[in-house]
């Protein structure tokens, strides 16, 4: 259900939320205000709770010296087999800004890959930073962006395809390389015409989208995310209002 991916590369190790408590935060200067990794997560989780949104799963990774933190949080906001998620990153060595990304496709990697459907927070560690306010504004933006995504999915669920149309889309995506992704034509064809889950048995654009994303899961994490990120724009060109 979740499309949130956290990749911890060389020199970065995974930790749980409780471990974040043990990491020290350096003293601030006149122009730089370090932000506790644990405080960031705590305020984010509390702010989500005020909006009646719960975290159902979270993962974190930190650099060897504890200065950089990366994380993903799966939310209990679900729709049609998808779950929204948040990605965060923070540093106390001036190497990157505090940032949050969100959507139902989220990738956070210690190599600085940081992608989602939209990015509601990007803040400098300045003396003027009010962490609670920045997160509150970011979550407001996040919730406003969730609804258009839901509507798109519902539209695709009602967009019926003939078998010939589905085959043409798969052919153009891989053989004509319009999708610009690794060639998984056989896998997508099988997943669409012989679906593994009953909810995708109907011949719709949404079922075809699921066949693509399911096939992409055989790719390496970054390849998988890159292919999935291109999929929406590719399939949009085949959507027709019902």
Predicted pLDDT of residue 91 = 95
| pLDDT, mean of residues 59-75 | 96
| pLDDT, mean of residues 99-115 | 89
For residue 131, is it within any domain? Answer: yes
Same domain, 127 and 182: no
DSSP reduced 3-state for 176: coil
pLDDT bin (cut points 50, 70, 90) of residue 2 is low
Among 132, 153, 174, give the residue marking a domain's end: 153
Same domain, 25 and 61: yes
Predicted pLDDT of residue 43 = 97
205: closest CA among 181, 234, 174, 176?
A: 234
Predicted pLDDT of residue 222 = 84
Same domain, 223 and 149: no
What count of other Cβ atoms lies within 10 Å of the Cβ of residue 218? 11
For residue 241, is it within any domain? Answer: no
Q: Residue 222: which domain range?
A: 158-236
Instruction: Report the chain's mean pLDDT, rounded to a whole number.
Output: 91
Residue pointed to by tokens 């399911």: 214
For residue 104, is it within any domain? Answer: yes
pLDDT > 60? residue 1 = no
What is the token pair recorded at 172? 């153009």
Predicted pLDDT of residue 113 = 86
> Domain tally for the chain?
2
Predicted pLDDT of residue 28 = 86
Predicted pLDDT of residue 120 = 86
For residue 69, is it within any domain? Answer: yes
pLDDT > 90? residue 64 = yes
Same domain, 106 and 162: no
41: closest CA among 9, 5, 103, 86?
A: 86
For residue 242, is it within any domain? Answer: no
Rounded to a whole number of angstroms, the distance between the first and last alpha carbons of the chain is 27
Same domain, 171 and 147: no
Same domain, 190 and 100: no
In the DSSP assignment, the letter for residue 27 is: P
Under 8 Å between Cβ of 83 and 196: no
């Amino acid at each position: 259900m979740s499309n949130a991916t956290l990749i911890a590369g060389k020199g970065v190790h995974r930790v749980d939320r409780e471990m974040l408590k043990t990491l020290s935060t350096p003293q601030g200067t006149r122009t730089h205000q370090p932000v506790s990794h644990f405080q960031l997560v705590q305020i984010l989780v509390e702010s989500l709770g005020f909006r009646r949104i719960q975290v159902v799963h979270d993962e974190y990774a930190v650099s060897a010296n504890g200065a950089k933190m990366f994380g993903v949080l799966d939310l209990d906001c679900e729709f049609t087999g998808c779950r929204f998620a948040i990605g965060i990153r923070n540093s106390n060595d001036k190497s990157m800004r505090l940032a949050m990304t969100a959507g139902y496709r989220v990738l956070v990697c210690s190599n600085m890959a940081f992608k989602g459907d939209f990015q509601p927070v990007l803040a400098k560690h300045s003396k003027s930073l009010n962490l609670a306010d920045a997160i509150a504004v970011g979550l407001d933006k996040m919730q406003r962006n969730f609804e258009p995504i839901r509507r798109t999915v519902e539209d695709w669920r009602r967009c019926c395809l003939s078998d010939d149309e589905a085959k043409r889309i798969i052919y153009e995506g891989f053989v004509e390389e319009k999708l610009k992704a690794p060639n998984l034509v056989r896998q997508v064809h099988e997943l669409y015409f012989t679906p593994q889950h009953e909810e995708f048995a109907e011949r719709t654009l949404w079922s075809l989208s699921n066949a693509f994303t399911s096939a992409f899961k055989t790719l390496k994490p970054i390849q998988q995310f890159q292919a999935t990120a291109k999929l929406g724009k590719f399939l949009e060109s085949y959507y027709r209002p019902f």
